[in-house]
Amino acid sequence: MAAIFSITVRAGTYRGQGRSYRERVGRSGVERWFLTVLLGLSIASSAYADYQPKAELVTGNVYALVGPLGQRSPKNDGLNANFGFVVARDGVILIDSGASRLGAEKIAQAIATVTDKPVRWVVNTGSQDHRWLGNDYFAAHGAETIAMSRTAATQVQQAEGQLKGLQGFLNTRLEGTRALPAQRPLAGEEAALELGGETLRLRYTHAHFPGDAWVWLPKQRVVFSGDLVYVERLLGVMPWSSVISGQKAFLALEALQPARVVPGHGKVCDLAQARRESGDYYDFLVNKIGVAAQDMQPMSQVLDQYADLAAFRHLENYAELHRANMNRAFTEFEALP
């Protein structure tokens, strides 16, 4: 029943978006499209049914949980992003806690397949819902929640709006979720943490959300980039993102020379892939779009000129995000004094 309901809603929504599609493909095309949607939905729902993240070894005692690339849904409990953990001497250090109580529970289950040790620390790389709304679950199970001070401050600001937004995606599966901003804010532009015999270095990126940060494990040479790096799918530039900060932070991340990068979204990768799929895109947004904005070229003309980029068009979400990303980058530069 639920599947039928969502099909009806989606088809209705699509039809509402305009006549051009129907005009292009004709009636039989619409029917074909509808059948494709039916098939696609049944495949998608079986693929995400009871979606459970799996722990994947990155190196030594470091693991990643690589989430699906698509949107938040009741099936994936908002775990459409990457998380990770370090099995330390005295307990587990979790990097990011998921978007809900039920999502956090699934993360805890994934960790339990690797170790019996409890999650004693949660470190948030950001303030977007899936980075921190599982904090409360882990805190209730004895963990200390930690983030850079500006990350925690943005969590406080975002809490109410994010819970409201998630309600639309997760429905009843959001029940029991309480926003708990990181309880131990870290001062300074960079911070070093010693937890259970492990060293973590945090540094602001300020790219996707103000106050976003990365977590660098110098001993293992692994960086959890948070939403600074996306691979396989195009990174999203939000109205509050900064591509200027993103470009700077990416250069600083390169200087670390990490052996492995756990991106915010997409599979665990090496630095070269992170450079191609995120670093080069920040460079494009700053060096082409930003420069055109500062030259006061007309925005729509600039966006048309760069609409089709061979280097990035294979990435998922390109069609949905690329133009809006350019628009926001242009706007960021236009607003510069």
- Structure-block tokens of residue 237: 């530039």
Give the binding-site size for Zn ion (rule: CB under 5 A). 3
- Kindly provide the b/e burial profile for residues 178-215, where b requires at least 16 CB atoms within 10 angstroms of the residue's own CB: ebbbbeebbeeeebebebeebebbbbbbbbbbbbbbbb
CB of 56 to Zn ion, least distance (A): 18
Straight-line distance from the first to the last Cα atom of the chain, in angstroms, rounded to the nearest whole number = 55
Cα distance between residue 146 and residue 151, in whole Å = 10
Q: Which strands form 91-95's sheet, in the order they lie side by side?
A: 55-59, 62-66, 82-88, 91-95, 119-123, 144-148, 184-186
Q: What DSSP character marks residue 316?
A: B
> In terms of CB distance, is 120 or 208 closer to Zn ion?
208
Q: Which residues pair with 137 in a beta bridge?
A: none
Span interacting with Zn ion, options 27-35, 140-148, 223-231, 280-288, rule CB under 5 A:
223-231
> In terms of CB distance, is 81 or 274 closer to Zn ion?
81
CB of 227 to Zn ion, least distance (A): 5
> In terms of CB distance, is 128 or 241 closer to Zn ion?
128
- Structure-block tokens of residue 58: 């990155």
- Quick note: the x/- pattern for Zn ion over 121-140, rule CB under 5 A, is -------x------------
DSSP H helical ranges for 133-279: 135-140, 149-170, 243-256, 271-274
CB of 208 to Zn ion, least distance (A): 7
Q: Which of 55, 65, 79, 81 binds Zn ion (CB under 5 A)?
A: 81
> In terms of CB distance, is 77 or 227 closer to Zn ion?
227
Residue 99 binds to Zn ion (criterion: CB under 5 A): no
Beta strand 55-59 with 119-123: parallel, antiparallel or unpaired? unpaired
CB of 47 to Zn ion, least distance (A): 20
A 10 A CB-CB count for 79 gives 28
> In terms of CB distance, is 81 or 326 closer to Zn ion?
81
Give the footprint of Zn ion on residues 250-279 (CB under 5 A). Answer: none
> In terms of CB distance, is 81 or 88 closer to Zn ion?
81
CB of 32 to Zn ion, least distance (A): 34
Cα distance between residue 124 and residue 220, in whole Å = 19
Q: Which of 227, 250, 290, 322 binds Zn ion (CB under 5 A)?
A: 227
CB of 158 to Zn ion, least distance (A): 13
User: Contact residues for Zn ion (CB under 5 A)?
Assistant: 81, 128, 227
